[in-house]
Amino acid sequence: MQWHKFLFVIKVILSGEFHYFWLFFRSSDVHPCFAAAMKMIQVERDFAEKHYSDLSTKPFFSSLVEYIISGPVVAMVWQGKGVVATGRKIIGATNPAASEPGTIRGDYCIEVSRNIIHGSDAVESAQKEIALWFPDGIIDWRSANHSWIYEN
């Protein structure tokens, strides 16, 4: 399993969901992941349209853009071995009705159009999204016990 990075963007709508999100990364049923970057921002329309450009021909594009610009978001980059699969497991299915209980979407979302979290769907999209959200780069670090846990 390779070491990769993954972008999460979570809507700040409930006081508790951010704490809940952190607990997922400490859960014993997922591989450990580590924060590499984080910022809270109010997304501008042109930025949102660029972020969702691959969906620009979809009928829900404008409502997706409206939702992400409606309030602040926290954008985070997590890194670790298998982080994309781990991130997708934590987030749950795109359709909240199909998301397992215990996932962020399964517990906090009801409608697809009001999905409170975005996560990269592949290593390649994560690289593109991280470059967009963090143009100045991110910190590349390893914890002090990294060599005790990982071979490389």
Whether residue 61 is annotated as binding a ligand: the answer is: no
CB atoms within 10 A of CB 84: 22
Q: How far is CA 71 from the centre of its chain?
A: 16
51 catalytic? Reply is no
**Whole-number Å distance between alpha carbons of 49 and 74:** 17
Q: Is 95 annotated as a binding residue?
A: no
Q: What is the DSSP letter of 101?
A: T
Alpha helices by DSSP H, 2-141 = 17-24, 45-51, 61-69, 83-91, 104-108, 123-133
| Residue 105 annotated as binding site | yes
Annotated binding-site residue? 45: no
142 is in an annotated binding site: no
- Ligand-binding annotation for 11, yes or no, is yes
Helix (H, G, I), strand (E, B) or coil at 23: helix
Helix (H, G, I), strand (E, B) or coil at 54: helix
Catalytic residue among 19, 31, 118, 146: 118
| Binding site feature residues | 11, 60, 88, 94, 105, 115
Cite the active site residues.
Answer: 118
| Binding site feature residues for ATP | 11, 60, 88, 94, 105, 115
